[in-house]
Structure 1
Amino acid sequence: MATQSPFSMFEGFLKALPTPPAPPAWMVEESHRRVVLLLNHVLQQEPQAMERLARQKGKVVVSQWQQFTFKVQATPAGLLDLAAPDARPDLTLAILEESLFAIAQALMQGEKPKVRIEGDVQLAAEINWLADHVRWDVEEDLSRILGDAPAHLLMQTGRTLAQALQQFVGKRTASADTASGTAA
């Protein structure tokens, strides 16, 4: 008997909902600015990442998933800025997976989602290096707000929960793969 992931039922429910209206342009732009601020905060914690990105100054990267598009440009300081709406991309990264849950599941298993890459190969290699090597030190940021001990406890609890969720997702995926393999 095939065991389905509980996420598949939830995903089916979400697909049945009507498509929400598109957010206003100002809201999209402001959310993009917040994401750029977060990415720059993370990049500033890793000088080698900033050096690599500075070598790509002026180049534009477009990330796409379904109808969502995010366009950034490398600055001479090795950080990111929003690119002009009419800027021609040097690199386009299109996430091929349609399901948000499948993307989250892949990330929980330590994998990257499948991506179609078009454009500058060197820039793509640098972005791949950033994805592989740059990590946000959330505990350090939390310790500035909460103190060292509470931040450590909160992160330890979060890691335990994430590990349990990762094991749950892995078991569900393995049992679903086994069930589909024996049914064929």
Structure 2
Amino acid sequence: MPASFATNPLNYILRSESWACKRLQPHEGKIVCIRIPPIAHFKMIVLANGEMQSNMDNLEADTTLSILPAILPGLIMHDESAYDGISISGDALFAEDLITVSKYLKPNFEQALSKILGDIPAHRITKAKDSFCQWHIHLVKNLSDALGEYWQEERPIIAKSNAIKDFSRQLNELKHDVNQLEHRINQIFLKDTLNNR
């Protein structure tokens, strides 16, 4: 996926939100790599005005944001929990500023569409987009819950939290018993050594 598909609409939104550009300006010249496997992998560089430009060079990224496709609808809807699913590597401060901008950058698609299509079609398209994203978020959550339950109950490849706690408790008890046994053996050995003198 060419980075220009991401940078052009992003810059359109950034131009209408001066605070976001100002937030990114201190990172001028830094490169971010966006990974959404297997859908996309591209790099962008921050320009002096705070906008982004696609980076075709083979330069090392300052930070990499790895995003699972499953959390994309949540990110689009600005679901706070979806941002926790972004994996960050590299310059953490740069990554945090990028994530903060994306959290609070809420483009008015309806207003932009109304200039092209008119108010009523723009409103209906925006409502349909919101409904679709909400449906997708619920679908992904329900699917992940069902898979988690299946893997715990039917095909136990994931341990239940109670089983883990129980195993941890038994392990601690065994450790305690081994320590007591070691202490007892040391006492017997010491007593035996003293008696043989």
Same fold (TM over 0.5): yes
Q: Distance in 2 between matches of 1:59 and 1:164?
A: 36
> Is 1:35 matched up with 2:6?
yes
Task: Point out 4+ residue stretches in structure 1 off by more than 6 angstroms.
Answer: none
Q: Note if 1:69 corresponds to 2:75.
A: no
Equivalent residue, structure 1, for 2:193? none
Deviation string, structure 1 residues 139-164 (Cα, Å, up to 9, x no partner) = 11111111122211222233233333
Count of equivalent residues: 151
Structure 1: runs of 5+ lacking an equivalent: 1-27
Structure 1 residues 73 and 145, CA, compared in 2 at 3 Å: closer, same or farther? Answer: same
Structure 2 Cα separation of the partners of residues 43 and 147 of structure 1: 23
1:88-127 alignment runs, 5 A limit: 88-95=60-67, 97=68, 100=69, 102-104=70-72, 107=75, 110=79, 111-112=82-83, 114-127=85-98
Query: 8 Å contact 1:43–1:79 — kept in the other structure?
Result: yes
Whether the aligned pair in 2 keeps the contact of 1:50 and 1:78 (CA below 8 Å) is yes
- 1:83 aligned partner: 55
Indicate conservation of the 8 Å contact 1:42/1:136, yes or no: yes
Larger Rg: 2
C-alpha distance after superposition, 1:96-122 (max 9, x if no partner): x5xx4x455765893147444332222
CA RMSD of aligned residues (A): 2.8
Which structure has more RCO (C-alpha within 8 Å, separation ≥ 6)? 1
1:78-111, CA deviations, whole angstroms, 9 ceiling, x for partnerless residues?
101123503332222344x5xx4x4557658931
CA gap of 1:90–1:75, structure 2 versus 1, over 3 A, is: same
Which amino acid counterpart does residue 142 of structure 1 have in structure 2?
L
Name the TM-score, length of structure 1 as normaliser.
Answer: 0.66
- Stretch moving more, 124-133 or 60-69: 60-69
> Structure 1, residues 28-63: CA drift from partner, whole Å, max 9, x if none?
6xx322321111012122211111011211111122
Q: So what's the TM-score if we normalise by structure 2?
A: 0.63
Q: Which runs of 5+ in 2 are unaligned?
A: 157-197
The answer for the alignment partner of 1:51 in structure 2 is 22
